[in-house]
Chain A
Amino acid sequence: MSSQSIWYAYDPQWALSIRARLNELDVSDLWLFESASSASMPRLILDKYLGNPIRQMTSKKSTENELTYDSLRGDHQTLEALNNFLRQQCWRSAVDWTITYLMKNPSDYHIWFIRFACLIKLRLFQTIESEFETFGNLNSISKLPFSLRLLHAELPIYMDSNHFHDGLDRLFRLLMITNTILSVLPKDQTQLWHRRRLRILYSIANCYILMKRMDLIISILENQIVKNEPVEQQIEIYLLIVRILLQTGDELNAQRAFDRALSLLPSKENLSDGFLLTKELFSLFRNDFSSNKLLTAMKNPIEVNNHCVILLYMSKMKESLDLYEKLIRDKATNIHEAIIFNMCTIYELESFRFTQKKHELVDYISQYVGDGFSLTALKLQT
């Protein structure tokens, strides 16, 4: 069996059993089912409300329009309230909302997905794993959303470096079932499952990136993923390869990957943001700061952040901080954990008043960020 075929491997026995149920189920609900008896009723393990830690830290008074889940408010129990929390990245409020709902409707797997999606954003991996265990065997549940199966498979790779292989086991199993489903579907009905298959490959690539398996990362990105994507996405993948190689110290091949991305462009005029950001990363690598200037006036917050970081390496501490302060006041969507972390790091360097400055920062951002914001970005000693 050549190494290529692991990507396309499927099980003919499984194919028979899936084909048998082709007429009973929607295309998107197809799966390889094992005996139904090993399913159990899912239940919550984390049943205490998460609340809003940022709100608790700030000295500002809370307002009526406060976007934090309140179990006593009737208007917070609706689906629209949940969707509102989600759109605003209020992951904690969304999780708290699901507690009430899932106690009454424990078999609503779509809401379980929302709950786990928010928990994984909050990095509460063990909670998710424990609650998944209450589901029993996932393969014996019909109509489990595919995205929930995928989240379950991806979960181990984020936990810590001891669980990468568990994640790969789960992901490859998912891949094999997906390949089997694709082998039984008529050609005109395969679009959804191709999309899902491609996403599994991305998840596997993510695992390799976290494992720093250089031999496998580039191979899967170039040989398995690129060819299934349109040109704009192919360019993004090559730029991803550039970032991976620069971050592991391989400038030579990073340049080759960059050139390959360039070669896919119809014209070299008006390079996209992704290209400009990547060029800055090369300058950082080469310690070539002479050409460092802000290319777009405050439009792209990632560019501003990276520019500020490089300013620090040029010993321009104050310019960096001034630019950061302007950035986060310019638009609420510019506030990101990485940016806040960088600001707090420079605060600590600049003066002994950093604790005070951090609290002022919390007061400011608490008005704008959802309760999904991670407090560790603030580097506060408790």
Chain B
Amino acid sequence: MSLSITNSGLPPSTTTSTTSIDPTKNVEPLAVRVMRLSKPALYQNIPVYGEEESSSSVDAFLTGQSHDMAIGDDHSVLSHLLVLPYSFGNVFLGEIFSAIVALHNQSDQILHDVILKTDIQTATQRITLNVTDQIDSNKLELAPDQSISRVLQHEVKELGNHSLVCTVTCTDQNGEKHNLKKVFKLPVGKPIDLKTRFILGATHDEYYIVADIQNQTPTILNMTTVDLEPSPAYTVTNMSNLHHENSENSLCEPWRFIRPTETTTYMFYLKPRKDATFEEIHSTPTLGKLDIVWMSGFGERGRLQTNQLPKPTPSIATTNLGYLPDLRIFCMRGLGQCQVEDSQKFSIRILNCTQRSMDLSLSFDNIFSKREQFLWIGVISKQLGRLEAHHTYDIDIELVPLTCGLKRIGGLKLTDLSMRHTYDFDDFHHLFVLPKIVH
């Protein structure tokens, strides 16, 4: 912030006349005016092409046009001239609201002890914008018609109603104190609309996170950073830029820009760190958070961070209060494709996610296998034995596909005999069954 004192050219009055502020005028001695200081823009021309050899009038026209300093002899619509913001504009979350406040002494007296306080009032808090200036603590004087100005900045961190509250106090020549409070409403909006979705990876505990970002501001945004900061147990690969041909010589990375109302999709791949422990991987319910930074015209900057993104909820019911299912199964060995009526063996790993040990027995859901048109063969019901907390064991199961097509393989039932609770498992695998070719 900076403060500057201006003098409109009139020497400060040194007379001791007792001219007072005319009460019948009902005019405050100080006026407060605020102007939004979003960054300026470049003036746009309409450069007209003519051929001076075609007629004297065209030559005269081109001469006239060349006196326009914004065009000269140029063919381009974009000049070098800066133009101040045309309107107040929107205030967006994550951006820096910048404004200039001007105080004008509109009375005919010298005003003493002029103090300006500026605050931002949100729905939840009041933030003081002026840091105690050296200048503020001195006795600040304003002569008649004199103005001072101050530039304010505030990083917008919450949504909802914001107001800029300007409070001015001063003392006139009669020793009378004046107070003026002006409140300016600031409309705060969401700059981007973010939609995230999750796709489970091929192996467990791997995730694809897809984020769609829509630009809801009226200006084009340069997304300088869209990163996922993973939870400590995970590593992340940013897959958003893989397909872009980034020629060394190119001066533009157009995929970084989002025009107003357009949406861009970003993708990240998360998998557990190699050195992460079971506890680390399974005890964090979150995957990470998105860090988004953008730039727009002449250095307007914005930044948003999401909350921690939760791991997508599993499809299996849990008996514990956490997010994890009690038991998880993983297909460790088995084909993805086979011929009809060929028996298929699968090796299944069972993981006990709970803190207690289980005593499991295996059975199958016949309705599931009937619907998918395959038959479990071999041992179709047996005791599996004790499974300690956080431990795994592998079992072998076998089936015969009866018809062709893409089949969901699942329908296992594991019963914990100690708790007398049965867990039903949906598909853990897909099998593509081809017809037999008869030679």
Contacts and interface: CB of A to CB of B under 8 A. Distances in A.
A interacts with B: yes
Interface of A: 28, 79, 82-84, 86-89, 94, 110-111, 113-114, 117-118, 120-121, 123, 145-147, 150-151, 158, 199, 202-203, 205-206, 209-210, 212, 214-215, 217-219, 222, 236, 240-241, 243-251, 253, 256-257, 260, 274, 277-278, 281, 284-287, 301-302, 305-306, 309-310, 312-319, 333-334, 336-339, 341-342, 345-346, 348-352, 370
A209 B254 contact: no
Interface stretch (B58-66, B156-164, B265-273, B345-353): B58-66
B178 interface: no
Interface stretch (B77-85, B206-214, B280-288): B77-85
Contact of A249 (B58, B68, B259, B299): B299
Given A247-B41, A249-B298, 20 more contacts: A84-B60, A87-B63, A87-B64, A88-B64, A117-B50, A206-B47, A214-B220, A215-B252, A240-B78, A249-B222, A284-B39, A284-B40, A302-B70, A306-B81, A318-B147, A336-B69, A336-B70, A342-B82, A349-B149, A350-B102
Contact of A287 (B4, B259, B299): B299
Contacts of B149: 315-318, 349
Contacts of A83: 56-57, 59-60
B37 interface: yes
B400 interface: no
Contact of A218 (B104, B151, B250): B250
Nearest to A302: B80
Contacts of A302: 69-70, 79-81
Interface stretch (B117-125, B187-195, B289-297): B289-297
Given A250-B256, A257-B251, A87 B48 contact: no
5 contacts: A113-B50, A158-B46, A217-B252, A338-B70, A349-B102
B64 A277 contact: no
A351 B82 contact: no
Given A287-B299, A315-B150, A218 B252 contact: yes
B386 interface: no
Nearest to A158: B46
Contacts of A205: 76
B374 interface: no
A282 B30 CA distance: 37
A201 to B, nearest CB: 9
B55 interface: yes
A198 to B, nearest CB: 9
User: Do most interface residues of chain B lie in helix, strand or loop, or is the interface mixed?
Assistant: mixed
Interface string B1-15: 111101110000000
A351 B60 CA distance: 42
B75 interface: yes
A79 B78 contact: no
Contacts of B48: 117, 120-121, 147, 151
Contacts of B81: 302, 305-306, 336, 338-339
B64 A218 contact: no
Interface in B178-222: 220-222
Contacts of A150: 49
Nearest to A111: B57
Contacts of A147: 48-51, 54, 58
A239 to B, nearest CB: 8
A338 B43 contact: yes
A260 B84 contact: no
